[in-house]
Amino acid sequence: MCGGSGTRLWPLSRKSYPKQFSKLIGPSSVFQQTAQRLSGPGYAPPVILTTSDFRFIVTEQMAEAGVDPGAILIEPEGRNTGPAVLASALWLARDDPDALMLVAPSDHMVADDPAFRAAVLAGVPAARAGQIVTFGIKPTHAETGYGYLEPGEDPGDHAPRAIPLRRFVEKPDKARAEAMLEAGNYLWNAGIFLFSVRTILEAFEAHAPDLIAPVRAAVDGGRPDLGFLRLDPGAWSGARDISIDYAVMERSHSLSVVPLGAGWSDLGGWDAVWRESGPDARGVATSGAATALDCDATLLRSEDEGLELVGLGLRDIIAVAMPDAVLVADKSRAQDVKDVVAALKAKQAKQATAFPKDHRPWGWFESLVLGDRFQVKRIVVHPGAALSLQSHTHRAEHWIVVSGTARVTVDDDVRLVSENQSVYVPLGARHRLENPGKLPMVLIEVQTGAYLGEDDIIRYEDVYARS
């Protein structure tokens, strides 16, 4: 499942490019790490649930990770995890209603993949016996941002084995979290589940039967689109917005939990990223062009190699610098970063939701300079990719190739434009940009005109079937 927005990790995570696709820990995104963890011997190609906005990011990152998806289902709108899991189960039931489903969010970090696989294998017998299996993490601190699990027996040494689950516990306040940590028998709810397709469909029929008709209609009425399956929007809108926990898990009596000791984190806030970044002896973690002087228990991250972030004499501070926004926060307020996003939305700041790099199926672009009647962009086009054949009503464009070779169409003129060469696209001309080479092509675009918005595009042909 990879359709969330991750507002607690603003400014790196935004609605247009959320945390699952970012390189929070390590050289690959957490989505790619999840895809690789859930692949290989014993695993079928994954079924992925995402939104239309992320569909090409998903396929690009899956290809980079070397994992071939089995199916990519496109949700017309977010309806929470209950309908998402049900849609996946109905899709899988077409081929094998007794298959085992391992359901996982795509934005969690697991430090020990072999330990994770061992825990999954430990839950297989219970899942085949008709149990709904969840996975619980041994708490390391009194976390108030997670739900908890109360096993029916003491987890002991937390070795991976399926034991009865007594109940789910909502996210606690600080005092309750400290009491559960002291008790020693509670586990964090990882939000990862294992069950057979048949078992989960029967659970929905018993506990959330109203979801079945609209979700089944959305799957049955799904429309293939360039390798994706777009769920029917009319039917999908009739499904109740509800999590899998509320819809099924907290109502079921056939629950087991497997203790999971694999270095898990949901990376649900910058405090979690700080912990997982390997702080030094003074508790300082830095990333990118960041320097800490006489700091303690502090996270400094610069997400722009040209922006040096320096912390001096800081304690318990989170500082994250992006090209267009900077967050400075007390580490104890990490869970409140979502309120920052809400405040920016209220003042209509584009930084609330828009990522500096605008990712498209053909590559990406970023704005370098924006004036009253001009804009300068850097555009990167993937090898073999092509922008749509389009025109603009309000702007003309100048293209300067700085790396690679472009095939440029301007009305009836088609030519190759190499490094250090340029081309002019008059206002109203039909034009297209392609990369015929085997390396990324980079160009600088200078736009001039009365209106420079991205909605000033008339598309005539598009290999990605965008309207």
Locate 243 and state its tokens: 């999590």
290-293 vs 309-312, strand pairing mode? parallel
Q: What is the DSSP letter of 36?
A: H
* Cis preceding linkage at 11, omega within 30: yes
Give the Cα separation of 133 and 126 in Å (integer). 7
* Best CA proximity match to 18, nearest among 349, 268, 225: 268
CB-count burial class (<10 Å; 0-12, 13-18, 19+) for 120: buried
Sign of CA pseudo-dihedral 108, 113, 118, 121: positive
DSSP reduced 3-state for 273: helix
CB-count burial class (<10 Å; 0-12, 13-18, 19+) for 358: middle
Are 47 and 53 in contact by the 8 Å Cβ rule? The answer is no
Give the Cα separation of 301 and 318 in Å (integer). 8
pLDDT in tens, the chain (467 residues): 998 877 899 999 999 899 999 999 989 999 999 999 999 899 999 999 999 989 999 999 999 999 998 899 999 999 999 999 999 999 999 999 999 999 999 999 999 999 999 999 999 999 999 999 999 999 989 988 889 999 999 898 889 999 999 999 999 999 999 999 999 999 999 999 999 999 999 999 999 999 999 999 999 999 998 889 999 999 999 999 999 999 999 999 999 999 998 889 999 899 999 999 999 999 999 999 999 999 999 999 999 999 999 999 999 999 999 999 999 999 999 999 999 999 999 999 999 999 999 999 999 999 999 999 999 999 999 999 999 999 999 999 999 999 999 999 999 999 999 999 999 999 999 999 999 999 999 999 999 999 999 899 999 998 887 76
Structural domains of the chain sorted by starting position, each given as residue range(s) with its CATH number in brackets? 25-265 (3.90.550.10), 270-347 (no CATH), 357-461 (2.60.120.10)
How far are the Cα atoms of 63, 279, 286, 292 from residue 282, in angstroms, in the given order? 39, 7, 12, 11
Predicted TM-score of the model (pTM)? 0.89
Locate 233 and state its tokens: 């929007």
326-330 vs 357-360, strand pairing mode? unpaired
Give the Cα separation of 137 and 146 in Å (integer). 10
Strand residue runs (E) in 208-356? 223-225, 228-230, 255-260, 264-265, 284-287, 290-293, 298-302, 309-312, 317-321, 326-330
Are 262 and 111 in contact by the 8 Å Cβ rule? The answer is yes
Neighbours of 158 (CB within 10 A): 15
CB-count burial class (<10 Å; 0-12, 13-18, 19+) for 175: exposed
Sign of CA pseudo-dihedral 34, 108, 131, 251: negative
Annotate 47-64 with DSSP letters as a single string: EEEEEGGGHHHHHHHHHH
Give the Cα separation of 414 and 411 in Å (integer). 8
